[in-house]
Structure 1
């Protein structure tokens, strides 16, 4: 009995010794790290386009990612130099934000901005996000694949062809957003009646400048004439020029023209000195002498609308009033 007991103890001791000599792996490293979508779209020229984070699939943190071998998806040739060149872009200084109430001149705005040099694409080594800035306007259209090295305490693993970057031109829906559409009629006693909401549309005229040409038109597409008093402001409510005051609004026979300097426009929601949040709204009135609302005679037209232009360029924004006819004299 004593001999058997000695043998058992010896075997247990041998097992512990063997276990102590075995290498203990640190942490877990998944074989299935991935993006939510394996196609990352870059809408070139937009102020900011950002991919999803890489899903590490339960791998043990902390971990880092490294983008490797960015290449043409068809030819396999290295990505062109435009991806890695530095370009000058105008951006807000750290901690600086736009205020429509106080930033009323280009000079005051420029105190908050600076020219920085950046490549059009950056890669976040902590999250794996691919980030594009407005310098992406310099990138050639096309599809580009890349690999990623994933590193944590377990070691480094290469994931080939983890995703494809597709460089595309932004659509008008990417560049223009409607935030509000409504309208009322009002009689001489300021009795208001809801009427058909306006319909906003936008077309890009050119990539040059930073300008919005705003036209308010009747149901047949005939523009009202702001220069002749056919479009007027409504008391102290916000209008086109309330959102950016760098340059005076230009009035023509057919349009109101605003040079907004920096996108998006409006850059932020309008909050007045009393603390009222007006969002991106614009209030206008077309006097009854110049317009006829279907089924609502002798009423002023009061369109209220909001929109944002998300990148620089020259745009024509049309506000069509579907139940209004322009009256000419």
Structure 2
């Protein structure tokens, strides 16, 4: 039998290969957010960034936020490290529109806690801002990230930029539904043009909605004289906030909703999920639609929106194809 001799040099090479330390895990050089520019809208109940994209890095990964500084490189504003009082629901407590019918009942479910305006999630890399962020100075803040996993640790300089800004109208107000149907006395439905819905925040005080419903000429309907009424089988403002009565003035419906966001929860009744829908009616004696005559069609208004922060808001709801007929 022929014998093959393995040279000593080959044995040494094989031994060296066998003794080489196996790399444990992988930590990418290109961790990132979807965008390095993160926005914190001051005063909103909750603003969250995206998670850090791990780019195939071996989990679990622990993230650390480092060297938070302003755009000129100066140290972090003390406002980031100061705790502020905010009102939140107690652990395990949530809003119920049917039973939380007074401010006292609402407050029994809430408490005041001291929190930092910003939180950093070390598992996902998400940045979260709460109502206390109202105290953070406007500006741009840069930061680095340190990531650690089984492969080791790596620091990523200038990983992201936090833009602390005041919320825009789009940040504060979300339109979810906005239609108008007309009904004749026999109950036949006639689709009409969608109303024009405008929104403005006129004050940071309180938690109030002033809804002004007007015709195509800008003449406001008068709720105090029955020109705008509730529909008995559909949700209204009171379905979402029973803390205070809705005020019917000569130009508007006024709802004091107490706590944002409004609505705090969907309205579900009789097995029907209404979402955030709100309905009101303009009687046929107070409206003339284009192409119709007085007393033939009433207007069934339907809208839904979310207001994401406290304050006083004016909502203008204009019917572009109808004229108001004032009540005597």
TM-score (norm 1): 0.94
Query: Are 2:32 and 1:34 equivalent residues in the alignment?
Result: yes
The equivalent of 1:293 in structure 2 is: 289
The equivalent of 1:284 in structure 2 is: 280
User: Any stretches of 5+ residues in structure 1 without a counterpart?
Assistant: none
Q: Determine the C-alpha separation between the residues in 2 that align with 1:187 and 1:30.
A: 67
The equivalent of 2:103 in structure 1 is: 106
Q: Determine the C-alpha separation between the residues in 1 that align with 2:96 and 2:73.
A: 47
The equivalent of 2:49 in structure 1 is: 51
Query: Are 2:259 and 1:262 equivalent residues in the alignment?
Result: yes
The equivalent of 1:173 in structure 2 is: 170
Q: Determine the C-alpha separation between the residues in 2 that align with 1:92 and 1:152.
A: 36
Q: 1:15 aligns with which of 13, 17, 42?
A: 13
Q: How does 1:164-313 map to 2 (within 5 A)?
A: 164-272=161-269, 274-297=270-293, 298=295, 299-313=297-311
Q: Provide closer, same or farther for how the CA distance between residues 4 and 202 of structure 1 changes in structure 2, counting only shifts above 3 A.
A: same
User: Any stretches of 5+ residues in structure 2 without a counterpart?
Assistant: none
Q: Determine the C-alpha separation between the residues in 1 that align with 2:231 and 2:26.
A: 64
Shift of 1:327: 1.2
Q: Determine the C-alpha separation between the residues in 2 that align with 1:55 and 1:288.
A: 57
Regions of 4+ moved over 6 Å: 1-4
Query: Are 2:75 and 1:71 equivalent residues in the alignment?
Result: no
Shift of 1:16: 4.4
Shift of 1:31: 0.9
Kindly indicate whether the alpha-carbon contact (under 8 Å) linking 1:197 and 1:303 is maintained by their aligned counterparts in 2: no
Q: Provide closer, same or farther for how the CA distance between residues 227 and 13 of structure 1 changes in structure 2, counting only shifts above 3 A.
A: same
Kindly indicate whether the alpha-carbon contact (under 8 Å) linking 1:226 and 1:251 is maintained by their aligned counterparts in 2: yes
RMSD of equivalent CA atoms: 1.8
TM-score (norm 2): 0.94
Shift of 1:3: 9.9
Q: Determine the C-alpha separation between the residues in 2 that align with 1:120 and 1:26.
A: 37
Kindly indicate whether the alpha-carbon contact (under 8 Å) linking 1:216 and 1:223 is maintained by their aligned counterparts in 2: yes
Q: Determine the C-alpha separation between the residues in 1 that align with 2:134 and 2:32.
A: 27
Query: Are 2:122 and 1:125 equivalent residues in the alignment?
Result: yes
